Structure 1
Amino acid sequence: MTQEHPPLAAGPRRGLRIGIGGPVGGGKTALVAALCAQLRDEMSIVVVTNDIYTEEDAEFLRRHAVLPDDRIRAVRTGCCPHTAIRDDITENLAAVEALVAAHDPELVLVESGGDNLTATFSYGLIDAQIFVLDVAGGDKVPRKGGPGVVRSDLLVINKVDLAPLVGADLDVMRSDAAKVRGGRPTVFASLRTEPAAPDVVRWVREQRVALLTG
């Protein structure tokens, strides 16, 4: 199931809400950490993480001190991850609203638990979504499509430094992503070799400007 992207909801002091989803191990939490580290000095940020049974992703962010602990909240979904970000967003929305009430943030990041290519966020929870893949699944993954690959506002293909080791052709991935995404942007990244994620940071800044001026 996919949803049409509504216009970003502008308004005074309205924080931009970005969902970050994708399969297990793609680099979602590393990307959240990078965005917090790069943007925390220019805007107020809060984070909601999702894990099925643990708070491991939230604890990773706390250990790396990317934000003060009270700006990070963990949701234990106890179910398939996409359920809590798309089908019944109640718990995630409550976590977001609690952080908004406490901190009045300019940027809210909601990280999904690891899921497959069908995972998408409800636009009742977020304004825009990033989908994170890595090259280890092979260069065939973008052309397999799926709502996460096709409909996300930004596709991030991570761990490009591993491409020679797993036999992934980045040119094939780039071409296939362009074919299935209908003009939506795709970023190739290595959060290990370039942890600042400059292209994704730039995109987030652009979304924030669009919200304020839209």
Structure 2
Amino acid sequence: MVCSDRALRVGVCGPVGTGKSSLIALLCRELSETLSLAVVTNDIYTDEDARLLRAAGVLDADRIRAVETGACPHTAIRDDITANLIAVEELEGDYAGLDVVMIESGGDNLTATFSPALVDVQIFVLDIAGGGDVARKGGPGIERADLLIVNKTDLAPYVGVDRDQMVADAEAARDGRPVIALSRTDRSSIDALTSWIRHQFAHHREGTLVPVDPGPMAAHSHAHSPGDHVHAH
């Protein structure tokens, strides 16, 4: 077994407005006393997410770096990952002993996933206010990311979503892969998230963590009634 001495690279992706930046801020606040952290954000033409995290004071400002993708954010986390790799490697060079680098995708759609050449594990984030049916619609991130977060669950009563049903749909779509229903007002959900990160970090340090590619497509079928054409990937 070969132990890894570089940082664990955690990808955080999901549609616009699902709470990716606030999730990263939460993890920084919860973990920074015991782990050495850094962040890389992705935006098309700005460094706004990086500036927001710096303004929040969750880490020293220089530990938060921005990548301006200039094109579809999906491209920079999956197809041509050069800019993100450079940013991560610069952080690892600047901060000896860095434990975890979190890489935030620019807001994309349900098809966004990270290349396993860029991240060791990836988190896909859904917003409960985005609709209770989103989880069962599937997609590579929803179905096969290492962790699915159903975020802002405290908002469920105000947006007419059945929280328990959405979580059950997510669990059914993921075939046993972990799902966390997260709320900043629910301490147990925060503890579950930080425990998951620590568990991945331990496996990474041991050299037993193997990145898994969720793929650009998820298995699906277009069969709706007898005689319909079945189309699966």
Give the aligned partner of residue 62 of structure 1.
54
Q: Which one of the candidate residues 189, 195, 218 is aligned to 1:202?
A: 195
Unaligned residue ranges in structure 2 (runs of 5+):
209-233
SS in structure 2 of the partner of residue 184 of structure 1: coil
Output the amino acid matched with 1:63: A
Q: Tell which has more relative contact order, 1 or 2 (C-alpha 8 A, sep 6+).
A: 1
Query: TM-score, normalised on structure 2?
Result: 0.84
Segments ≥4 residues shifted beyond 3 Å: none
1:92 to partner: Cα distance: 0.5
Residues 1:117 and 1:34: Cα distance change in structure 2 (over 3 Å): same
- Give distance in 2, aligned partners of 1:90 and 1:212: 24
Moved more, 194-203 or 84-93: 194-203
Give the aligned partner of residue 22 of structure 1.
14
| Structure 1 residue 180 corresponds to structure 2 residue 165 | no
Q: Indicate conservation of the 8 Å contact 1:31/1:197, yes or no.
A: no
Q: Deviations over 1:64-99 (max 9, x none)?
A: 111111111000111111110001101011111111
Taking only aligned residues, the RMSD between alpha carbons, in angstroms, comes to 1.5
Q: Deviations over 1:146-173 (max 9, x none)?
A: 0110111000011111111111111221
Which structure would you say has the larger Rg? 2
Q: Indicate conservation of the 8 Å contact 1:22/1:28, yes or no.
A: yes
- Give distance in 2, aligned partners of 1:162 and 1:37: 22
1:206 to partner: Cα distance: 0.6
The aligned runs of 1:65-80 (5 Å cut-off) are 65-80=57-72
Give the aligned partner of residue 81 of structure 2.
89
Give the aligned partner of residue 5 of structure 1.
none
1:12 to partner: Cα distance: 4.0
| Structure 1 residue 189 corresponds to structure 2 residue 217 | no
- Give distance in 2, aligned partners of 1:94 and 1:129: 19
Q: Which one of the candidate residues 85, 107, 114 is aligned to 1:114?
A: 107
Unaligned residue ranges in structure 1 (runs of 5+):
1-8
- Give distance in 2, aligned partners of 1:138 and 1:109: 27
